[in-house]
Amino acid sequence: MNFKDHNPLNNKQYRILDFNGEVVNKEDLPSLTEEELKYLYKTMLYTRMIDDKALSYQRQGRMLTYAPNTGQEAAQVGSAYAMEKEDWLVPAFRELGALLVRGVPLRNIYLYWYGNEWGSHMPEGVKVLPISVPIASQYQHAVGIGMANNIKEENNVAVTYVGDGGTSHGDFHEALNFASVFKAPVVFIIQNNQYAISVPRSKQTASKTLAQKAIAYDMPGILVDGNDIFAMYVATKEAVDRARRGEGPTLIEAYTYRLGAHTTSDDPTKYREDKEVEQWKPKDPLIRFKKYLLNKGVISEEWEKETLEELEKDVVSTFESIEDKSDTEIEDIFKYHYETMPPQLEEQLEEYKLFLEGGK
């Protein structure tokens, strides 16, 4: 595919699979092995399973506030799979599928949402930044990594994500501006799930697409069907390759839908109608990809059943292994954030220790 053939002003989504799992763009269909296809679908199933269990645990009072990913698995898994081992993933807080693809253990993910500081402590060799909750701030972090790669003459790429609401933040525009000026090897992905908490996409901007915001910064922008895992993989792969060639950043709008709540503290029925949600359910990325794989004979219903049983055991055992055994040590909060603790934190840590001694 060529970005020059996709004008974001046309408001036309780049797509390879239609809603029925039929190939509508044979020319761009990626050459993936059966094992790769199974891996991608299994990771999407894993993402959905982790999500469903996390919601259940949170409702039972066994986990803190959680941000669901249901409905956005293709946008995450497809894009992350286009990265290479040494590339950097810079997430926001709704990129579960991407974290899994990039090698973040489920234990870390559940530790984070459980409230344990060590959930953000990535294993050696996993080039993933911690979850970033301040909206769009991670875009600037990704640009910093990209600029550092250029200075150090390293041939790595940073892939970063934001929601549709994040495009209204100054950090978003500052990041795109710097990345374009300095040709930073960064791929910006907008997970346009139609709502920023309770604010619909229509209230964020008058632009026909979010992808067209790339035009002002002189970089390619493309609107992609975010529920089509092949389209997300191909578009991101082209953007990653382009960045690695030294051609600068790309902006991808993944057009998808948040089937659940913004977080477990949110009640979406207050700002959107159930009718709208029902209209999106048949577009579920798992349903679409499953139809394709079944038609091609890559998977069977029996394979999926066995896989789901295997994944459920893993998810349940992982959560139970950290439950009630993973309280954060207060000192870890001070020690973890910096290689060398700054003076103000050292003072606060000493105050905390004195407080503990006084309570004994």
Of the listed 66, 258, 288, 292, which one is catalytic?
258
Active site annotation includes 262: yes
Domain co-membership, 335 together with 282: no
Domain co-membership, 324 together with 342: no
**Closest by Cα among 136, 122, 48 to 92:** 136
Residue 62 DSSP one-character state: S
Of the listed 6, 94, 242, 262, which one is catalytic?
262
Of the listed 59, 121, 271, 337, which one is catalytic?
271
At 68-81, the pLDDT tens digits run 999 999 999 999 99
Domain co-membership, 45 together with 57: yes
Domain co-membership, 205 together with 341: no
Residue 151 structure tokens:
């200075």
Domain co-membership, 161 together with 308: yes
Domain co-membership, 296 together with 337: no
Q: What is the mean pLDDT of residues 109-134?
A: 93
Q: How many CB atoms lie within 10 A of CB 241?
A: 14
Q: What is the mean pLDDT of residues 8-29?
A: 96
Domain co-membership, 103 together with 115: yes
At 247-302, the pLDDT tens digits run 999 999 999 999 999 999 999 999 999 999 999 999 999 999 999 999 999 999 99
How many alpha carbons fall within 13 Å on the CB side of residue 310? Answer: 10
Which pLDDT score, from 0 to 100, does residue 359 have? 61
**Closest by Cα among 49, 95, 51 to 76:** 95
Beta strand ranges found along 209-359 (DSSP E): 221-225, 250-255
Domain co-membership, 254 together with 338: no
In terms of pLDDT, which residue wins out, 115 or 123?
123
Q: What is the pTM of this model?
A: 0.93
Which pLDDT score, from 0 to 100, does residue 228 have? 98
Q: What is the mean pLDDT of residues 186-190?
A: 98
> 15 falls in which pLDDT band (50, 70, 90)?
very high
How far apart are alpha carbons 283 and 272 in whole angstroms? 18
At 209-237, the pLDDT tens digits run 999 999 999 999 999 999 999 999 999 99
**What residue numbers bound the domain in which 342 lies?**
329-360
Which pLDDT score, from 0 to 100, does residue 327 have? 65
At 123-161, the pLDDT tens digits run 999 999 999 999 999 999 999 999 999 999 999 999 999
Domain count of the fold of the chain? 2
At 302-352, the pLDDT tens digits run 999 999 999 999 999 999 999 877 567 778 778 777 889 999 999 999 998
Q: Is the pLDDT of residue 244 over 80?
A: yes
Which pLDDT score, from 0 to 100, does residue 278 have? 97
Q: What is the mean pLDDT of the chain?
A: 95
Report residue 356: phi and psi, to 5°: -65, -40
How far apart are alpha carbons 221 and 210 in whole angstroms? 9
Domain co-membership, 268 together with 350: no
Which pLDDT score, from 0 to 100, does residue 335 have? 79
Domain co-membership, 308 together with 338: no
Q: Is the pLDDT of residue 102 over 70?
A: yes
Domain co-membership, 186 together with 310: yes
Active site annotation includes 161: no
Active site annotation includes 195: no
Domain at 220, CATH number: 3.40.50.970
The packing angle between helices 301-322 and 34-59, to 10°, is 50
Domain co-membership, 123 together with 79: yes
**Closest by Cα among 312, 299, 291, 285 to 79:** 285
Q: How many residues does the chain have?
A: 360
